[in-house]
Structure 1
Amino acid sequence: MTSEARDGATRSATGPRVLRPDEWDEWYDTLVRAFGGVPETTEERELWRALTPFPRSLGVWEENGGGSGDGGCVGTAGAFDFRLTVPGGASVPTAGVTMVSVRATHRRRGVLTSMMRRQLDDVRAWGEPLAALTASEPDIYGRFGYAAATFGLHAEIDTSRVRLSVPAGTDDVRLRYVDPAATLDMCEAVYARTVPERAGMLARRPGWERLALLDPESGRSGASPLQCVLAERDGEVVGYARFRVRPEWTDRGHNGQVLLQDLTGLDHMSEAALWRFLFGIDLTTTLKVRGRPMDEAWQHLVSDIRRCELRVRDSLYVRLVDVGAALEARTYQTPVDVVLDVEDAFCPWNSGRWRLSGDAKGAVCGRTSDAADLALSVRELGAAYLGGVSLGALGAAGRVRELRQGALAEAAVGFGAVAAPWLPHGF
């Protein structure tokens, strides 16, 4: 739930300070206005208040404002306490940067920069080696060291023309409609089992499961209330899909759409069974999906990939707050022994040379005076960190300089990942 606005102020503003609970309504109203000012339902608003990490949230207040009078809140920022899966399966403490906004009357005067400065200093003090966010305006966050590290696949599949072939064992999976709220714990148990398997996934804290059930009628655009099916095999829940159906009729007949919200399976057969179900819902001809893993298997099960209308969109932006700790937290596909000359103007404690030595079992990374093999900024490290962006591609773009012949190819293979990293939901 990240919003951005370029910096500025028409009047003097105080520096960022920690948000007090009694200031939340005004603070949140500032954020909502930055998104266009469309009111949220009471349920949505109450949930976001419950999830707001008050000690980790910042506000900037106009002088003499303090929540009342002519001043008030002009900037907002928060940092959820997340754990992010990294290559190798470790769950790493990560600041989930969120709720960032600057009042439109207070731009280009350093409000945003002051919040980003305070926030990254805090993240470092908390001992969290990573920060991550989703960006509604991607060009803003590069100057603070963030880079796109995961991407999501969108598709609009013509299910009237595209057939789905499924792997052996799919017919052993049984599906049944269930109440989304009544079976939430079952779905969360399935989700939790998949978190260590793919970099970029978030271990959900208590309360976050409620986001999946938010279903305001104002947000359905003519679609049904949220529906859910469970996938079961031998009495065990092995997957689920949550979706809506938007009925539509023309003179030629039905033309309904299935709008997938989320789908999770414990194995290829349970996933295939769920996809087959979505392809075959009566009175529908289109399946719309958003933000799915780039390497998801259904793409290799369809009869006509062109009629799936694939699109790619950036998703999770990653920033290394502590280069040494972050690079030690993940593993590497092949052995790496490389000296990185890192540039980090916004967090200068990261600048300098680091020797990274690691393999599929673990890694160490520390300061060194040895000659550098590669030169890059912290942004390139953030982009490549989860294995979804190749250091080789960044080198071809001129953003990574090879100082020892062969070092770039070695590091690019080592930094890769078997599965494409994926952010399952926004924040």
Structure 2
Amino acid sequence: MKLNKDRETLDEAIHLIQYAFLKKNDLKKDINFMSRYEHSDGYGTFHGGKLASYIMSNHFESKIFDQEVKMSGIGYVSSYPENRGHGDVSKLMKEILKDLNETGVSLSNLAPWSETFYRQYGYENSIYQKRYSIDPAMFRYFKSPKTGRVLRGDWSNSKLKELIIKLYQNQINSGQERNTVIRRKWWWDRLETYYPGRYAVVYVDDNQIPQAYMFYRFLNNKFKVDEIYYTDEVSATALLNFIGGHISTCTEFEIEAPEDSLIDEYFPDQSGLKITTHPYMMSRIVDFAKIVSAVKFISERSVNLEVLDDQICPWNTGVWHLVNDSDHVSCIKTIDKPDFAGSITNWTKVLLGHLTLEQAVSLGLIKALSSKKIEFMAGKVSFYDYF
């Protein structure tokens, strides 16, 4: 059931979360927890008058190319051990997805503790991240930029904050993002408290225009970059040179970057790079028509796509007729035969993940039922948010 936001319910939710996630601090005084709580709906199950299971659904928006769509960020999924196995979390997940659809929320993202567990509710891997582990010797190739300069500080520095948000907004509004969280003020404000001791760096050109930034931390002897964004070679190598300035104090260097990152191409010698790609977030398409309308496709003016047997969100099941009118895609249900058919999870891999339709067909994940040839624009995820 959807929970009231009163003191008693908050106390019970906090006790459960503290037990399930081994948290020792007072969450009522934890600004990071309370900011999420204030921008969320809570769902829970009671047994014997006591809260036994809990799920938080945060209110976000995601950018999918040119469209903003409402997105639910699922977190703090928890049950007391004596209550596990009763199906309470399953009932809550189904209730949440039903409520999301009724309130116009088209999408849900989460960081899974078990991919197979969430896949049964229609979630699928969609957002991946690339990790670079770099031998310190590899930074010797980068020199200080001849133009522009690097500014360093932390999130309390209002000038840096302004420059970083400007770069972020430029990319978010570029029409290239594919399920990237739109950071509102309350979410930006959490950065300072959620990552205490984290630093920020901005590279500005000779005209004082920001061209790159990154967030980084020191974890013992490791220099860890949590987020990096750059617009060209000069700005990218300026950041790499700045990182290399720490080889006398750090023995390990790690960069978390977008899946499509090619920053390794700036290294003249790549033998000291270890590059891995790993799943970061799963997505659940709550409203197929809304999501597919936001994703542009090419080659054909119209196409029929079938969602096969979406039992959790049955309103998605059926054949959908898409028409591509220049910069707008319309989508309505039809009784005509489909050109392509697949499950909601496999459509997620194509529409929001990193598979092309051709790849999905080749893998047998999507069935091609006609001679039509289309491809969806790939897009990218440039910024990563954990919840």
Q: Structure 2 length normalisation: TM-score?
A: 0.88
Distance apart, 1:81 and its partner CA: 1.8
Moved more, 25-34 or 360-369: 25-34
- The residue identity in structure 2 corresponding to 1:373 is D
Any idea what the Cα deviations from partners look like across 1:28-47, whole Å, max 9, x if unmatched? 33234333x14247698222
* SS in structure 2 of the partner of residue 127 of structure 1: coil
- The residue identity in structure 2 corresponding to 1:156 is S
Residue in structure 1 matching 2:54, options 49, 55, 76: 76
Unpaired segments of 5 or more residues in structure 1?
1-15, 66-72, 218-224, 248-255
Residue in structure 1 matching 2:367, options 385, 401, 405: 401
* SS in structure 2 of the partner of residue 153 of structure 1: strand
Unpaired segments of 5 or more residues in structure 2?
none
Point out 4+ residue stretches in structure 1 off by more than 4 angstroms. Answer: 40-44, 162-166
- Where does residue 189 of structure 2 map in the other structure? 210
- Where does residue 74 of structure 2 map in the other structure? 97
- Where does residue 45 of structure 1 map in the other structure? 30
423 and 237 in structure 1: CA distance in 2 versus 1, 3 angstrom threshold: closer
- 8 Å Cα contact 1:30-1:74 kept in structure 2: yes
- Where does residue 155 of structure 2 map in the other structure? 180
- 8 Å Cα contact 1:75-1:103 kept in structure 2: yes
* SS in structure 2 of the partner of residue 201 of structure 1: strand
Name the CA distance, whole Å, in 1 between partners of 2:325 and 2:264: 31
Name the CA distance, whole Å, in 2 between partners of 1:421 and 1:335: 26
Any idea what the Cα deviations from partners look like across 1:215-249, whole Å, max 9, x if unmatched? 677xxxxxxx32222222222333322212356xx
- The residue identity in structure 2 corresponding to 1:111 is D
307 and 105 in structure 1: CA distance in 2 versus 1, 3 angstrom threshold: farther
40 and 287 in structure 1: CA distance in 2 versus 1, 3 angstrom threshold: farther
Name the CA distance, whole Å, in 2 between partners of 1:306 and 1:420: 27
Alignment of 1:112-261 (within 5 A): 112-161=89-138, 171-183=146-158, 184-197=161-174, 198-214=177-193, 225-233=197-205, 234-246=207-219, 256-261=221-226
- Where does residue 260 of structure 2 map in the other structure? 295
- 8 Å Cα contact 1:85-1:91 kept in structure 2: yes
376 and 114 in structure 1: CA distance in 2 versus 1, 3 angstrom threshold: same
- The residue identity in structure 1 corresponding to 2:147 is D
Alignment of 1:350-361 (within 5 A): 350-358=316-324, 361=327
Distance apart, 1:347 and its partner CA: 0.9
- 8 Å Cα contact 1:375-1:400 kept in structure 2: yes
Distance apart, 1:174 and its partner CA: 0.5
Distance apart, 1:53 and its partner CA: 4.3
Work out the percentage of aligned pairs sharing the same amino acid. 19
Distance apart, 1:93 and its partner CA: 1.7
- Where does residue 44 of structure 2 map in the other structure? 59
181 and 116 in structure 1: CA distance in 2 versus 1, 3 angstrom threshold: same
Q: Is 1:348 matched up with 2:314?
A: yes
Distance apart, 1:180 and its partner CA: 2.9
Name the CA distance, whole Å, in 1 between partners of 2:265 and 2:369: 40
Moved more, 52-61 or 77-86: 52-61
- The residue identity in structure 1 corresponding to 2:363 is A
- 8 Å Cα contact 2:2-2:41 kept in structure 1: no
30 and 279 in structure 1: CA distance in 2 versus 1, 3 angstrom threshold: same
Count of matched residue positions in the alignment of Structure 1 and Structure 2: 379
Residue in structure 2 matching 1:374, options 340, 362, 369: 340
Distance apart, 1:374 and its partner CA: 1.4
- The residue identity in structure 2 corresponding to 1:304 is D
- 8 Å Cα contact 1:53-1:79 kept in structure 2: no
* SS in structure 1 of the partner of residue 55 of structure 2: strand
- 8 Å Cα contact 1:331-1:360 kept in structure 2: no
Residue in structure 1 matching 2:376, options 375, 397, 415: 415
Q: Is 1:28 matched up with 2:14?
A: yes
- Where does residue 264 of structure 1 map in the other structure? 229
Distance apart, 1:186 and its partner CA: 3.7
Name the CA distance, whole Å, in 1 between partners of 2:46 and 2:169: 39
- The residue identity in structure 2 corresponding to 1:214 is T
Distance apart, 1:182 and its partner CA: 2.1
- The residue identity in structure 2 corresponding to 1:237 is P
Distance apart, 1:21 and its partner CA: 3.4
- Where does residue 85 of structure 1 map in the other structure? 63
Q: Structure 1 length normalisation: TM-score?
A: 0.80
Q: Is 1:339 matched up with 2:299?
A: no
- Where does residue 383 of structure 1 map in the other structure? 349
